[in-house]
Amino acid sequence: MNKSLRKAVIAGNWKMNKTPAEAKDLIDGIKPLVKDAGCGVVVCVPYVDLAEALQCTKGTNIGVGAENCHWAASGAFTGEVSAPMLKSMGVQYVIIGHSERRTYFGETDETVNKRIRAALDNGLNVILCVGESLTQREQGVTAQLVAMQTKIALGGVTKEELKKIIIAYEPIWAIGTGKTATAEQANEVCSLIRSTVKELYGNDAGDAMTVQYGGSMNPKNAAELLAQPDVDGGLIGGASLKPNDFAEIVKAAGK
């Protein structure tokens, strides 16, 4: 991390976990542990938990995010939730392009771009996810693939709007598998993402971009990963569902 240039952010991605009552208990457990955090703290929760999460985090240093949003403001899109709906609730962040959305629900680079446009137009902060599969890594196309994902996702985004975007590098092969990229591997791709942003928007924009790592970060490996110069935080899955584990990662990012 380089806190003189950009902000470190630890965001929990709860995925499809926790009822509203369970969400309250989890956030109540997290709040006292992160109240003095030296980094940004966000919890991204299922849609049904958003109202409870927003209520529980009032007056705290914890931001609340959704796990996706649709590109249309309204319409015949059964099961989807729009950016204006999230904005109306007071939601601050939204994850877009997570590998699970791409893998299981047909998300493409183009629809990721459209969703980002909708989120930005409604004043939401975006956590944009990019990353390669194990096969793609073994084929040696990680650099090209991640650069392409980043460029397409940011199509039409202005330099000013870029300030509302965080990019999370999520190697698909390290999500929910217990496998983790080495600190050096994580930093290499986070650096590549930063270079891509610099290519598109200039050095100052690239230096200011918060780039998270999101592949099975946990209390044991967080310090080593976050010590890397181009890793500015984490998008945390399983560990975000355990208050003490999540707090340990936040603590590591605050150093």
Tens-digit pLDDT profile for residues 55-107: 999 999 999 999 999 999 999 999 999 999 999 999 999 999 999 999 999 99
pLDDT tens string 163-192: 999 999 999 887 777 777 899 999 999 999
Amino acid 99: pLDDT: 93
- pLDDT of residue 52 exceeding 80: yes
Q: Tell me the pTM.
A: 0.96
What is the chain's mean pLDDT, rounded?
A: 96
Amino acid 180: pLDDT: 72
- What is the percent of the chain with per-residue pLDDT over 90, rounded to a whole number? 90
Average pLDDT over residues 208-213: 97
Catalytic pick from 67, 70, 98, 107?
98
**How far from the centroid of its chain's Cα atoms is residue 5's Cα?**
19
* Residue 170 appears among annotated catalytic residues: yes
Q: Where are the domains of the chain?
A: 9-253
Catalytic pick from 67, 100, 170, 248?
170
Amino acid 157: pLDDT: 98
Amino acid 156: pLDDT: 98
CATH fold group of domain 9-253: TIM Barrel (3.20.20)
Separation between Cα atoms, residue 144 and residue 228, nearest integer Å: 22
Amino acid 215: pLDDT: 84
